[in-house]
Amino acid sequence: MDVRAAVAFEAGKPLEVTTVQLEGPKEGEVLVEVHATGICHTDEFTRSGADPEGLFPAILGHEGAGIVVDTGPGVTSVKKGDHVIPLYTPECRECEYCLNPKTNLCQKIRSTQGQGLMPDGTSRFSLDGKPLHHYMGTSTFSNYTVLPEIAVAKIREDAPFDKVCYVGCGVTTGIGAVINTAKVEPGANCIVFGLGGIGLNVIQGLRLVGANMIVGVDINPAKKEWGERFGMTHFVNPKEVEGDLVPYLVNLTGGGGDYTFDCTGNVDVMRAALESAHKGWGESIIIGVAPAGAEISTRPFQLVTGRVWKGTAFGGARGRTDVPKIVDWYMDGKIEIDPMITQTIALDDINKGFELMHHGEGIRTVVTF
Ligand code: NAD
Ligand code: AHE
Ligand code: ZN
Ligand code: ZN
């Protein structure tokens, strides 16, 4: 069938919205009509050429929501008409990883997903007979996409697509990093670096679990108001700190953060986040993804003296199990999404969404179809 998609033809170039061809779902796959998709910084990371796994031409997008409109042979867990959120971290419930409670990183289809292909090693998308790569197994910058059934979470039908698409990455990543990865206790002092679409969800996760100090750090002064809106108690703009940032934060928190979070993808910030964690027990969680070739460093003494460095993908969430619950939290008013969605645009205007991100304007742009 013909579908409308934003194609990343080359690294560093704007996306091109055009008509491409999509084959129907094969064994174990579903066809989803995408109703909305957010634009996450990771889409920009790949579009820009910074992603070592980036492949072109590809249909990017991984923060979607829509309706199952067709199912391939053998599909049992979802049916036509089901409302779903695509999962870039699938949940097969039978691989070695799914069976280990210590991880959410289902590996059932990871190798083909990383090659921009469906699990059978082929692509469903093409243009003029030439294959286009899938992206993160989701390719939500298209009004229709095909996904393995293990890569969709069924959600309630009264949830608005143009809001809950954000649960497909940003909301779950931020809140999940607090609850699943760090397992933050009530009363903890925490520091969040980078108050964008992910960092603000870390902040609202910290508010949810009853953290004490919630310190937000961002170089964009406009983020002070944003952080406070979701529970931040203190704002620090590194550009306004005299002297080094780390001792400033350690002093502000009375010894360092019990938990610190990097939501920037900048390896220097990751180091500052680790080193501003409390001596003896502070844990620092890396959420941001760093460009090809970038590496983290610190003095081993930082770890010898009890700080812990951890990372998280999709907030440690098991998508088919946890995503429907997070949608319920939103529908029940336990978490906020609406105010973070600062622009809703049409697919034809998708490059404007990337420009807004570059200018640090707004928090999340959502494309509706
Ligand atoms: P964003 O662009 O919305 O926000 C980034 C924020 O970081 C901005 O507010 C920016 O001003 C701030 N910032 C930049 N440099 C800074 C610095 N030196 N010090 C302090 N603040 C700084 O991006 P986002 O969508 O929130 O994504 C954040 C990061 O998380 C990206 O690297 C993204 O790829 C990554 N991410 C990871 C996962 C995961 O599963 N691990 C999931 C989603 C996003
Ligand atoms: N391809 C990059 C890494 C990108 C990355 O870490 N992606 C996160 C999700 S970011 C969502 O916005 C993730 O899920 N990682 C686990 C995985 O298996 O990809 C690189 O550096 O190669
Ligand atoms: Zn994302
Ligand atoms: Zn699995």
174-312 CATH fold: Rossmann fold (3.40.50)
Phi, psi values for residue 203, rounded to 5°: -60, -45
Is residue 348 within 8 A of residue 12, CB to CB? The reply is no
Is residue 200 within 8 Å of residue 275, measured between CB atoms? no
| pLDDT (0 to 100) of residue 13 | 98
Question: Rounded to a whole number, what is the largest CA-CA distance in the chain?
Answer: 63
Q: How far is CA 297 from the centre of its chain?
A: 24
Q: 60 in ligand 2 pocket by Cβ < 6 Å?
A: no
Write out pLDDT tens, residues 143-160: 999 999 999 999 999 999
- Residues of each domain in the chain carrying CATH 3.90.180.10: 2-168+337-368
Catalytic residue among 23, 33, 93, 110: 110
Element (H or E) spanning 257, and its range?
Answer: none
Which amino acid residue places its CA nearest to atom 16 of ligand 2?
Answer: 313
261, containing H or E segment:
strand 259-262
**Which residues lie with the beta carbon below 6 Å from any ligand 1 atom?**
40-42, 45, 169, 173, 193-199, 217-220, 223, 238, 263-266, 269, 287-289, 312-314, 357, 360
Residue 58 has a pLDDT of 98
pLDDT of residue 142: 98
Write the burial class of residue 253 (CB in 10 Å: 0-12 exposed, 13-18 middle, 19+ buried).
buried
- Is the CB of 12 within 6 Å of ligand 2? no
C-alpha–C-alpha distance, residues 158 and 65, integer Å: 12
Q: Please, where in the chain does CATH 3.40.50.720 lie?
A: 174-312
- Check if 314 has its Cβ closer than 6 Å to any atom of ligand 2: yes
Specify the DSSP class assigned to residue 93.
Answer: S
Identify the pLDDT of residue 89: 98
Question: Which ligand gives the minimal distance to the CA of 99?
Answer: 4
> Is 35 a known active-site residue?
no
User: Is any atom of ligand 2 closer than 6 Å to the C-beta of 42?
Assistant: yes
Question: Would you state the pLDDT for residue 229?
Answer: 98
Q: Please tell me the distance between residue 189's alpha carbon and the centre of ligand 3 in angstroms.
A: 26
Active-site annotation holds for 106: yes
Rounded Cα–Cα distance for residues 177 and 193 (Å): 13
User: Which residue shows structure tokens 């934003």?
Assistant: 6
Pocket test for ligand 2, best of 107, 171, 289, 323 (most atoms within 8 A of CB): 289
- Any idea which ligand is nearest the CA of 92? 4
Cα separation, 319 vs 304, in Å, equals 35
ipTM of the complex: 0.99
Given the residues 42, 260, 264, 312, the one annotated as active site: 42
Q: How far is the CA of 90 from the centre of ligand 4 (A)?
A: 7
Cα gap 85→137, rounded to integer Å: 12
40 ligand 2 Cβ < 6 A: yes
Please report the atom of ligand 1 found closest to the CA of residue 198.
Answer: 26
User: Which value, to the nearest 10 degrees, does the dihedral of the CA atoms of residues 368, 319, 312, 168 take?
Assistant: 10
Q: Is position 225 annotated as part of the catalytic site?
A: no
Ligand 1 atom closest to Cα of 44?
34
Query: Which residue among 169, 172, 264, 283 is the active-site one?
Result: 169
pLDDT computed for residue 310 by the predictor: 98
pLDDT given for residue 280 in this prediction: 98
> Which pair of structure tokens corresponds to residue 9?
């033809």
- CB neighbours of residue 236 within 10 Å: 18
CA 243 to chain CA centroid, nearest Å: 33
CB 215 within 8 A of CB 190: yes
Tokens of 85: 């959120």
Per-residue model confidence as pLDDT tens for the chain (369 residues): 999 999 999 999 999 999 999 999 999 999 999 999 999 999 999 999 999 999 999 999 999 999 999 999 999 999 999 999 999 999 999 999 999 999 999 999 999 999 999 999 999 999 999 999 999 999 999 999 999 999 999 999 999 999 999 999 999 999 999 999 999 999 999 999 999 999 999 999 999 999 999 999 999 999 999 999 999 999 999 999 999 999 999 999 999 999 999 999 999 999 999 999 999 999 999 999 999 999 999 999 999 999 999 999 999 999 999 999 999 999 999 999 999 999 999 999 999 999 999 999 999 999 999
d(CA 252, CA 256): 8
Give DSSP secondary structure letters for 109-140. THHHHHTT--TTS--SEEETTEE-B-STTT--
Residue 124 annotated to the active site: no
Q: What are phi and psi of 300, to 5 degrees?
A: -50, -25
Task: Give the residue carrying structure tokens 């070739």.
Answer: 293
- pLDDT on residue 158: 98
The architecture that CATH gives domain 2-168+337-368 is: Alpha-Beta Complex (3.90)
Q: How far apart are CA 24 and CA 116, in angstroms?
A: 17
